[in-house]
Amino acid sequence: MPIPLLDYTLTSQNQRVTGFEVAGDEQPVIYSSEDLRSPGEMDALIQAAYLQVFHEQQMLKHNRQTYLESQLRNGHITVREFIRGLVTSGPFRTNNYNSNSNYRFVELCVHRLLGRDVHNERETQAWSIILATKGLNGFVDALLDGDEYSSNFGDDIVPFQRRRVLPQRSAGELPHQRMPRYSAEYRIRLENSGLLAKGGVGESSFSSTWEGGLPPKSVRLLGAAITIGGATVLLGMTVSIALAAFGLISL
């Protein structure tokens, strides 16, 4: 018997408020496969899908799914199925699922697939149970085949952050692209492993693996020799130019 999604309360978020403002630069660009008029518009739609799923930090050639792109261009799959393929692909699994806790991964996927923040911790826990019991593919299916995704994006629209800015407000929600891929828990793991220094703001984020924070004596001697040699050459060039300026020598 499948475990149903836990109930959770809905908080008042931007995407739940009907907007009547005039579209502008702050409004999301909607990419849909229903009204494509040129191959260039399909290219833009695919680019938008990669940006929504992988964000700028992972927009790498290595992460491209050329087979899925071909299927979408030929009309064999819908935009929804293209998004499903990207989220369940090897690069996305490695860079996001394998390197995060279930809670963080749920927040990340709700941002990128449903276009909103999680309502509360209860929703995060509810989706985490689905992720733990059904695995990555079952969790992604539950998100993409749910009523919320279908009513907002359907089969043809690339997901986007819904209603980031509200009228008559001095500041809206931050773009989801600015959400760190890793949680504080992952940073603590890096600090405990010695890859990040434990310190406050303004201190170096990288820790030294050398004892006492200094390189070995042989490295310091080599650096000193290179410094002295370079200074000697520079001094010689300066003296030569000065003598040539007085006509004592010719260069």
Structure tokens at 126: 């509810």
Residue with tokens 């209860």: 122
Does the structure show a pLDDT above 80 at 181? no
To 10 degrees, what angle do helices 102-109 and 121-144 make? 60
**Three-class SS state of 177:** helix
Q: H/E element holding 128?
A: helix 121-144
- Return the pLDDT at 201: 42
pLDDT in tens, 208-227: 455 556 667 777 788 888 88
Per the prediction, the chain carries an average pLDDT of 79
When pLDDT is cut at 50, 70 and 90, the band that residue 187 belongs to is low
More confident residue, 136 or 204: 136
pLDDT in tens, 98-119: 888 899 999 999 999 998 888 8
More confident residue, 60 or 185: 60
Q: What percent of the chain has pLDDT over 70?
A: 70
CB 51 within 8 A of CB 112: no
Q: Taking residues 180-200, report their average pLDDT.
A: 62
Q: Taking residues 20-48, report their average pLDDT.
A: 80
When pLDDT is cut at 50, 70 and 90, the band that residue 142 belongs to is very high
pTM equals: 0.64
Give the CA distances from residue 137 to residues 74, 75, 106, 216, 247, in Å, rounded to whole numbers and listed in that order: 24, 23, 13, 50, 81
Give the CA distances from residue 59 to residues 56, 65, 71, 75, in Å, rounded to whole numbers and listed in that order: 5, 12, 20, 24
Q: Taking residues 6-33, report their average pLDDT.
A: 68
